[in-house]
Chain A
């Protein structure tokens, strides 16, 4: 069973469109994350939710809006897609609250390409 699963794996779309990426974890973790990995493999955190509450919100354009319907799911909606949004987006999860420092487990990523 996949621990952290993301859909879709690949997303090719045109500039200006709106798209969503979904993430689900079956590890029973309390905290979920969205990361962006650019072409140089650099991973940068975008958002984090703990028990459906937003706890990390990095400097990300407000075209990006995360939503957590429950602690096992964290979705990412992107409005008005731009060329610079092309990247691999990773979802991750970990156990515990803000100071627990438990390791994070990652999904296999969603490869977003903007035409």
Chain B
């Protein structure tokens, strides 16, 4: 079993829909949680960075962390074709060694 599980999709939604992404993990020591966006032939770009449980909102993006369930989510409201990318969850415990999910490929249809 992988340390971080993420459904690779692909996920296809119409423009304006809410995109819902999630990851589960097994290591209870994880306390730093990140979401990265990766466009084709580009490097991962940090979208959201949260510590411990709770919600964080930034524009159209909302990240949620539920440490009791070992489950994190990313919601994208009013999705745009420019949101089409692969979304990677990542997490770490006390050090900066990140464990990544496999990434979910999202397509927003115009």
CB-defined contacts of A104 to chain B, threshold 8 Å? 46, 96, 98
Residues of A at the B interface (CB closer than 8 Å) are: 4, 31, 40-45, 48, 56, 90, 92, 94, 96, 98-109, 111
One of B18-26, B36-44, B58-66, B68-76 at the interface: B36-44
* Chain A nearest Cβ from B49, distance in angstroms: 5
CB-defined contacts of A99 to chain B, threshold 8 Å? 94-95
List 20 A-B pairs, Cβ < 8 Å. Answer: A4-B43, A40-B8, A40-B102, A41-B8, A41-B102, A42-B100, A48-B96, A56-B97, A90-B43, A94-B96, A101-B32, A101-B51, A101-B92, A101-B94, A101-B96, A104-B46, A105-B46, A106-B36, A106-B44, A111-B41
CB-defined contacts of A105 to chain B, threshold 8 Å? 46
Complexed CA–CA distance, A58 and B67 (Å): 27
Q: A98-B95, A99-B94, A101-B32 are in contact. Are A44 and B46 (CB under 8 A)?
A: no
- B103:A42 contact, CB within 8 angstroms: yes
**Residue B79, interface by CB 8 Å:** no
CB-defined contacts of A108 to chain B, threshold 8 Å? 41-43
Complexed CA–CA distance, A31 and B46 (Å): 17
**Residue B88, interface by CB 8 Å:** yes
User: Max chain A CB contacts within 10 Å: which of B90, B95, B96?
Assistant: B96
**Residue B45, interface by CB 8 Å:** yes
- B100:A43 contact, CB within 8 angstroms: yes
- A43:B97 contact, CB within 8 angstroms: no
CB-defined contacts of A31 to chain B, threshold 8 Å? 96
